[in-house]
A and B are shown apart, each in its own frame.
Chain A
Amino acid sequence: MIDRRLILNIDWVLLGLAVAVCLLGILNIYSATTPYKVVGMAYYTKQCYWMLAGITISLVICSLDYHVLENFSYWLYGFLVLLLLAVLVIGKRSMGATRWLHLGFFNIQPSELMKLVIIVTFARFFNNFQSVGGLTVKEVLLPLTLLFLPAALIMKQPDLGTAALVIFIALSMILYVGLRWSTILTFIGVTIPMAFISWSYLLRPYQKNRVLDFLDPERSKLGSGYHIIQSKIAVGSGGFWGKGFIKGTQSQLRFLPEQHTDFAFSVFAEEWGFVGCLFLIILYISLVLWGLNIARRCNDRFGGLLAVGVTAMLFWHIVINMGMVTGLFPVVGVPLPFFSYGGTSMITSMVGIGLLQNISMRRFMF
């Protein structure tokens, strides 16, 4: 049962930061969807429900000791890989890519779950793994294989953004465990030719287009390059103080693509300016550093690895999304955690918060 001490130990900083970003997000969704033709419930209302559902799920997760996960981790991994295979075989085609699996009563996106499962899997793997002075090339091969299988399946869907995230999360955890210099050098030596091969043979034309558009946005004014240009105009024209709530011309005149989901940050940047962005980024920095702090305070290796993994997941979402919106990265369709509209992203992020909360609460009870 739930220990009373646990409730006393709820990490209010963590919960507070996440909820603060959520509330800013809802405010922003309200503005971003003003020009939409909405049938049924308004987007911001739905997002409120998603937030409440997310918080509830995170609290449920707190109440179970995270050490249980260690026993299940490989089973989870195997199950998810099977689901990813199932998606490729029977998944529903939508938006030119197969991502969803219909289970009758509800639909799941296994690639989204994989982000969490790879964390648990790696945490379990490295917890039982003793290495002195960093991992050697040989030691890193097995975890890389564990990573490669789901990443390749997600890439096949094709969902470049999620595949990249899964890889980044896993690599962050490997970095945390520590690598020898020789390993890092070998890794670089292999990656560069691999990148060349994947560019020539593996990437889909639309993915290549996105990369090329990024390198030269003028290439296509109406395609994805158009999105980056319009997003940069929105962010830049916000200036220092911003144009004001619901006064962003770029968003209200609908020059922005997906302005309530992936490009929500450009709406925010236009309307609240540099000041608003600074505030949001401070919230995010605090959240990420707090996550690392939880990892630092945790006295068992499994918990530490788990906390680093979850924090890495949040971190990479934030960086890739903001980089995309400000024209630093290609458009890959990664939402901003707690801020973009969408139930899937909210639930995944809140599950992450639940895990961090779980680790934070039990730090004295090792």
Chain B
Amino acid sequence: MKERRFVRELVESKHRILMLSFVVGFVFLLLLIRLWHLQILNADDYQAMSENNRLRFVPVAASRGTIMDRTGAILVSNRPSFSLAVIPQEAKDREAILTLLSGLLGLDRADMAERWEKNEGRAKYYPIVLASNITRDQVEIIEENHFRLPGIEVEMKPVREYTSHQLAAHLLGYIGEISEKEMVLPGFDEYNPGDYIGKNGIERALEKELHGNDGGRQLEVDARGRVLRTVSESFPTVGNSVVLTIDGAIQKQAEKAFGEQAGAAVAMDVRTGEILAFVSNPGFDPSLFSGKLPADIWKGYLEDKRHPLENKALSGQYPPGSTYKMITALAGLQDNTINESSTVNCTGSYDLGSSTFKCWNKKGHGSTNLRKSLRESCDVFYYQLGEKLGVDKLAAAARSFRLGAPLGVELLNERSGLIPTAEWKLKRFGKRWYHGETLPVSIGQGAVLLTPIQLASMISTVANEGTIYRPHLVKKIVDADGKTIKETAPEILGITSFSKESYRAVKQGLFAVVNEPGGTGAAARQYDVKVAGKTGTSQVVKLHDSKMGTPYQYRDHALFVAFAPFDDPEIAVAVIVEHGEHGGTSAAPIAGRIIRAYLDGKKAPRKNMGGISSDDDDDENSDDEKESPTMKKNAVDGAAIHD
């Protein structure tokens, strides 16, 4: 019975296969009829359509978002700029057109030919940019000769305008045409050759926010390129605006304070990690970079010994010198190797084995406790402490401050600095760590390297007694209607492992540096608010005695880190003057001026005046007046300053 049923099933299913085969045949027949209908009955119509299918896409670049400082003052905005483009499918005679263009406009023929060839693989209706930034006169010549230049078009694109010229050039960065290398980067597939993207600084780091969405018009044109109709149009969306944490007024004062000197400064809000000023000096003119940079200016930048194109605040790595003593001190206090009253007798040098380690003061500091060691920056005190602690304990203290790794500021290519350990040396050089090498590390020399951002974070963390905030530059992102899209909340990266008591002991020393006789940082003193800080000198080359005759590139770097007000810290500043020789004389005054600018801004809150004024003459006078009380005070013990 079951067998018979099974056989019946089998026979039935074979029968159904036959049915299915018919269905399959029928469906394919329908497909063939459809193809017959398209390819034979209506072939002529479709052939005509494909021949006239000259849909042309005219891109309309989105207006890039603006960049503002924390008060809403505009730092970067846009102005219109014109570029020359060709639509390959309509420009049949390339050679003739190029010759005509270079004749009429005086543009470089080879350059245009190269751009044309490079983009030939793309859709033939898509415009290729032959020359950017052409003048209004050139635009007019093109329009007059339009009939002789089939397929040639003028495109209007908004171009960046740096409202305050060179202000914060490294921070803001510049834009330029996308390169072939950048086009294959992840996230850049939507971009087309000729598009402008941020190359550097905030312009690059926040490219996705600032760029906006390019729009375009899909046009149907006839065989001669005449526009028949607009098939569709999508409007560009303006990029979002970026509000920085930077205060334009502080930034301006900070840059002015550097004058001709090379260096970097970072000012940070101790309570949030907001960066208030971000200086790398000397600057450059970012607007020059979006067009073709004149060769002589380029050469000038490259040959300048002060390296104006380098973002020193972000990627400069310097030995922190004596500013690092606060880390060594904290490590010692934490470890109970020292306490506030431990003293060391400084005789001007310290012998370890066969080596002699010198204090900067050859006469010696005599009996020195923690406070004095910071105030007068005694090296011997830290040599002895460092020797007792060992390099790995010093490194642990630095790591507790998150030094030795990028802190996560928004800009690309943040460097990590270097905190040496025994293990690091073994890996790097294959040699074990010698005890004597710990001594220079304890005073921030040797292999220790920090970036200016790390220096600022370090002093800020000391100021707030242990909280490490992520230093950040972007306050918020605002859309075209002024609505806030994203706002950066203060982010705590970590809490250091040191006790409040240890911090207070160290901070007392830092107070003495600025405010007590014999302190090395008196130049940062303010008449109304208590400032605390630490000087530093970082050796560029070892052993050079005749300081008078040292050539520029071999002179020591000068450092100063500070915070204020002492009792309830708000601002932390790190300043490095390259080859500035003495922290107390060249870096401390700059830090003082930055703190001054911050305090003045607090007293008279600025309103958004639409831009940071760049007419310097008026400002200069008033600035000098404001600063005079500080300067006079500083002059009193200025002579005694030495690091």
Q: Which residues of A contact B (CB under 8 A)?
A: 35-37, 39, 130, 132, 172, 175-178, 221-222, 230, 232-240, 249-250, 253-255, 269, 273-274, 277-278, 281, 284-285, 288-289, 292-293, 295-296, 299, 301, 304, 308, 315, 319, 322-323, 326-328
Contact = CB atoms under 8 A, between A and B. Distances in A.
A295 B14 CA distance: 8
A189 B138 CA distance: 72
B46 A233 contact: yes
B17 A233 contact: no
A235 B50 contact: no
B24 A315 contact: yes
Contact of A236 (B10, B24, B45, B231): B45
B20 A277 contact: no
A326 B24 contact: no
A221 B125 CA distance: 17
A289 B47 contact: no
Given A39-B184, A274-B35, A277-B39, A304 B47 contact: no
Given A235-B35, A328-B31, 20 more contacts: A35-B123, A130-B5, A130-B9, A175-B20, A232-B38, A235-B46, A236-B47, A273-B39, A274-B39, A277-B35, A285-B24, A285-B28, A288-B28, A289-B25, A292-B17, A315-B24, A315-B27, A322-B31, A323-B34, A326-B34
A327 to B, nearest CB: 8
A269 B24 contact: no
A28 to B, nearest CB: 16
Contacts of B179: none
Contacts of A277: 32, 35, 39
B47 A239 contact: yes
A320 to B, nearest CB: 11
Contacts of A293: 17
A179 to B, nearest CB: 11
Considering the complex of A and B, which 6 residue pairs feature the smallest CB-CB distances, nearest first? A236-B46, A237-B50, A239-B43, A236-B38, A274-B39, A222-B232
Given A221-B218, A285-B24, A296 B14 contact: yes
B367 interface: no
Q: Say which size band chain B's interface belongs to.
A: 35 or more
A169 to B, nearest CB: 13
B331 interface: no
A172 B18 CA distance: 14
Interface centre among B12, B17, B53, B232 (most CB of A within 10 A): B17
B497 to A, nearest CB: 35
Contacts of A326: 31, 34-35, 38
Interface string B29-49: 001101110111011011101
A236 B5 contact: no
A176 B34 contact: no
A253 B124 CA distance: 6
B336 interface: no
Contact of A308 (B20, B42, B121): B20
A234 B20 CA distance: 32
Interface in B116-155: 121-125
B58 to A, nearest CB: 13
Contact of B121 (A37, A221, A236, A299): A37
B13 A288 contact: no
B16 interface: yes
A255 B47 contact: no
A39 B55 CA distance: 27
24 contacts: A35-B123, A37-B121, A39-B184, A172-B20, A176-B16, A221-B232, A222-B232, A232-B38, A236-B38, A236-B46, A237-B49, A239-B39, A249-B53, A250-B53, A255-B53, A274-B39, A285-B28, A289-B24, A292-B24, A296-B14, A308-B20, A323-B31, A327-B38, A328-B31
Contacts of B42: 236
B109 to A, nearest CB: 26
A249 B18 CA distance: 42
Contacts of B122: 35, 37
B25 A285 contact: yes
Contacts of A285: 24-25, 28
B628 interface: no
Interface of B: 5, 8-10, 12-14, 16-18, 20-21, 24-25, 27-28, 31-32, 34-36, 38-40, 42-43, 45-47, 49-51, 53, 55, 89, 121-125, 184, 218, 231-232, 234
A178 B53 contact: no
Contacts of A299: 10
B20 A292 contact: yes
Contacts, number: 135
Contacts of B89: 253
A292 B21 contact: yes
Given A221-B231, A222-B231, A233-B53, A240 B20 contact: no
B11 to A, nearest CB: 11
B123 A254 contact: yes
Given A35-B123, A296-B14, A233 B50 contact: yes
Contact of B10 (A240, A273, A301): A301
Given A221-B232, A222-B232, A328-B34, A176 B13 contact: yes
Contact of B35 (A178, A269, A284, A295): A269
Contact of A253 (B8, B14, B123): B123
A19 B49 CA distance: 35
Nearest to A273: B39
A240 B40 CA distance: 6
Contacts of A178: 12-13, 16
A326 B40 CA distance: 13
B125 A253 contact: yes
Contacts of A281: 28, 31-32, 35
Contacts of B36: 274
B443 to A, nearest CB: 47
A326 B18 CA distance: 28
Nearest to B50: A237
A326 to B, nearest CB: 5
A285 B28 CA distance: 7
A33 to B, nearest CB: 11
Nearest to B25: A285
A132 B13 CA distance: 12
Nearest to B55: A255
A295 B49 CA distance: 45
A327 B35 CA distance: 10
Given A178-B16, A239-B40, A304-B13, A289 B46 contact: no
A223 B8 CA distance: 53
Contacts of B46: 232-233, 235-237
A91 B333 CA distance: 51
Contacts of A130: 5, 9
A169 B49 CA distance: 38
Given A255-B53, A281-B31, A295-B17, A237 B184 contact: no
Contacts of B13: 176-178, 301, 304
Nearest to B218: A222
A289 B21 contact: yes
A178 B19 CA distance: 11
Contacts of A273: 39
B9 A301 contact: yes
B115 to A, nearest CB: 16
B32 A233 contact: no
